[in-house]
Structure 1
Amino acid sequence: MIGLVLAAGAGRRLRPYTDSVPKALVPVDGTTTILDICLRNLAAVGLRHVVVVVGYARQAIEILRPELELRHGVDIELVVNPHAEDRNNAYSLWTAREHLHDGALLVNGDTVHPPTVEETLLSHRHPDGPEVLLAMDTTKSLAEEEMKVGVDGEGYLARITKLMPPAEAAGEYIGVSLIEPAAAAPLADALQATWERDHGLYYEDGYQEYADRGRLVRPVPLGPTTWVEVDDHTDLARARDVACRC
């Protein structure tokens, strides 16, 4: 299994920090960036080969790559998303499809969280279990912006969307998921159908397409977890507090 970080986004709401670097390289604890935390978490659960999908300002990550490898004890392979600024992250994940065949622990490059999230997903793997596991916060109060998760009577994914009324959601997907090797080809097909339908769709819409095709996706409740998705300056201020405790 590999680590996989989606770090192609521009993070326009974080300017001027992102004028010349991608969102994943915004510092959240001294010189520690969001990408540092992603790599640290993946290394903490024994994943030493990490694929990073880059796009906007990718040269900044390319330059730092040797330093990041040495700092976190990982080998980093870069995959370029040539449409990072005109297509959403369903396309970003699809660009890494050839790297899913050994399984992947996927982390959004804008999420600050502790390694217990990765540990929890790995602990829920089962040979006869679902092919995709999603880390889900069931304690946070939900509003319009969150990626909300609905489950069926057996605990499998029924719906994942920002458009769901909060009262109908079981929790929020926090941007970390485990993709088993058996999911590689069918998930790639679902992602392709998703971004071809609408370039603005998220990879979570690809998970919905995957589930709608009869494949099993299980959201995994995390329990109380301190984390933040960094979209704007308010999030960044909170991330700096969270990072000190990760």
Structure 2
Amino acid sequence: MIGLVLAAGAGRRLRPYTDTLPKALVPVDGDTTVLDIALKNFAEVGLTEVAVVVGYRKEAVYARKEALEAKYGVTITLIDNDKAEEWNNAYSLWCAREVLKRGVILANGDTVHPVSVEKTLLAARGQGQKIILALDTVKSLADEEMKVITAEGKGVQRITKLMDPADATGEYIGVTLIEAEAAEELADALKATFERDPDLYYEDGYQELVSRGFTVDVAPIGEVSWVEIDNHDDLAKGREIACQY
């Protein structure tokens, strides 16, 4: 199993930082970026190989690759997303379809979270699960969050931003454990998703899997401080959180 980070997004709501950097390289604690936090977490749980999907301002990631490898003791493979500024991240994850065959812990390049999340996902393995989503069942939800409804013993029933927060079991935080045996089915679902609409999220690919009868499981992360950084308010919160790790 290896680490996988989606870091192709432009993050236009974070300008001027993202005039020259992809969102994953915006600093959240001194020189520490979201990508740094993901790599540190992977290394702490024993993942020594990491793939990073790059697109917008990818040259900035290429320029830091060797230094990041040395700092965290990992080997990094960069995967180019040629449509990063045109299509949404269902396509971005599909670009890593060959990497999925090795089994991955996937982390969004805009999620600031502690290593306890990766540890929770790894501890949840071993009962036949193929895909396990990190789920926050504590946080109060609003319209923007990626909300999830689960059913006892049946895993995810629905995953979308477009639901009443009161109906949701919790929020998917942007970190997933994907076993190797799920790779081909997930890649096919992602392809069907972006071919239907290139603006769809990879979570819509998860929903496609569920609609096909595939079980997508969840692991509650408990009361954990984390944030998805979409705008400057999120960045301020991310900076409060990141210095605690």
Q: Distance in 1 between matches of 2:102 and 2:83?
A: 25
Superposition deviation, residue 167 in structure 1? 0.7
Superimposed CA distance per residue, residues 115-166 of structure 1 (whole angstroms, 9 cap, x where no aligned partner): 000000000001x422100000001000000000001232500000000110
DSSP-derived class of the 2:18 partner:
coil
Corresponding position of 1:31: 31
CA contact (8 A) 1:155 1:219 kept: no
CA RMSD of aligned residues (A): 0.7
Q: Distance in 2 between matches of 1:86 and 1:239?
A: 27
DSSP-derived class of the 1:122 partner:
helix
Q: Distance in 1 between matches of 2:166 and 2:222?
A: 19
CA contact (8 A) 1:100 1:184 kept: yes
Corresponding position of 1:5: 5
- Which runs of 5 or more structure 1 residues have no equivalent in the other structure? none
Q: Distance in 2 between matches of 1:174 and 1:207?
A: 14
1:58 aligns with 2:27: no
Letter in 2 for 1:13: R
Corresponding position of 2:243: 244
Corresponding position of 2:234: 235
Moved over 6 A (4+): none
Letter in 2 for 1:166: P
TM-score after normalising by structure 1: 0.98
Letter in 2 for 1:191: L
Letter in 1 for 2:29: D
Alignment of 1:69-80 (within 5 A): 69-80=69-80
Letter in 2 for 1:107: A
DSSP-derived class of the 2:224 partner:
coil
Q: Distance in 2 between matches of 1:155 and 1:215?
A: 10
Q: Distance in 1 between matches of 2:49 and 2:152?
A: 37
Alignment of 1:72-221 (within 5 A): 72-126=72-126, 128-221=127-220
Report the count of equivalent residues. Answer: 245
- Which runs of 5 or more structure 2 residues have no equivalent in the other structure? none
CA contact (8 A) 2:154 2:215 kept: no
Letter in 2 for 1:201: L
1:47 aligns with 2:47: yes
DSSP-derived class of the 1:173 partner:
strand
Letter in 1 for 2:10: A
Letter in 1 for 2:43: A
Letter in 1 for 2:4: L
DSSP-derived class of the 1:176 partner:
strand
